[in-house]
Amino acid sequence: MTQKTIDRRFCIAPMLDWTDTHCRGFHRLLTRQAVLYTEMVTTGALIYGDVERHLRFGPTEHPVALQLGGSDPADLARCSKLAQDYGYDEVNLNVGCPSDRVQSGRFGACLMAEPGLVAECTAAMRRAVTIPVTVKCRIGIDQQDDYADLQRFVTTVADSGVSTFIVHARKAWLD
């Protein structure tokens, strides 16, 4: 499978409870090149739930990325493979969501405190697929919010082979 080049100059971020296939179809009417993202789908929802409901999208939505939430490398690899098999152009690990519910599941922004684990996750994801694996993160969390913290996080995760980081340019308060 040859990898398509994805133009990332303009991306449309997902919105909780809004970004379904119909919303992405509308976004595609506004721009033909923007990368569109799904809402964050947890690994548990894909492994134990209705895969078709979570992963279906229309042919006009390309380029489209599946945004995953999780922290188990094997589960993330399995779900990344599902994304590739369904025809997604990219899989994105969400390390930016600050919600309490997400934190209690040990995924989202709380993972910024564990760059080694994120690197393990993305390495497993990359081994499972040939499509790009990207990471969405914040500029920092709680008191870990200076440039050196972000640089340390990105450097550690980049060592796993991730070359694209989508940075939500505000910090996440988790406390």
Task: State the DSSP code for 60.
Answer: G
pTM of the model: 0.91
In angstroms, the CA 129 to CA 105 distance is 24
| Residue positions annotated with a catalytic role | 97
CATH of domain 11-168: 3.20.20.70
In angstroms, the CA 173 to CA 29 distance is 35
In angstroms, the CA 166 to CA 137 distance is 6
pLDDT above 80: residue 113: yes
Over residues 117-174, the pLDDT tens digits come to 999 999 999 999 999 999 999 999 888 889 999 999 999 999 999 999 999 888 888 8
- In this prediction, residue 150 carries a pLDDT of 95
Over residues 8-56, the pLDDT tens digits come to 777 777 777 778 888 888 888 888 888 899 999 999 999 999 999 999 9
Could you state, in order of their start, the residue ranges of all structural domains in the chain? 11-168
Which parts of the chain are beta strand (E)?
11-12, 35-42, 64-69, 90-95, 133-138, 165-168
- In this prediction, residue 1 carries a pLDDT of 46
Task: State the DSSP code for 141.
Answer: B
- Averaged over 59-74, what is the pLDDT? 95
Coil, strand, or helix at residue 166? strand
Question: Residue 32 to residues 11, 15, 59, 63, 166: CA-CA distances in angstroms?
Answer: 11, 19, 12, 9, 20
> Highest mean pLDDT: which of 52-61, 76-85, 95-104?
76-85
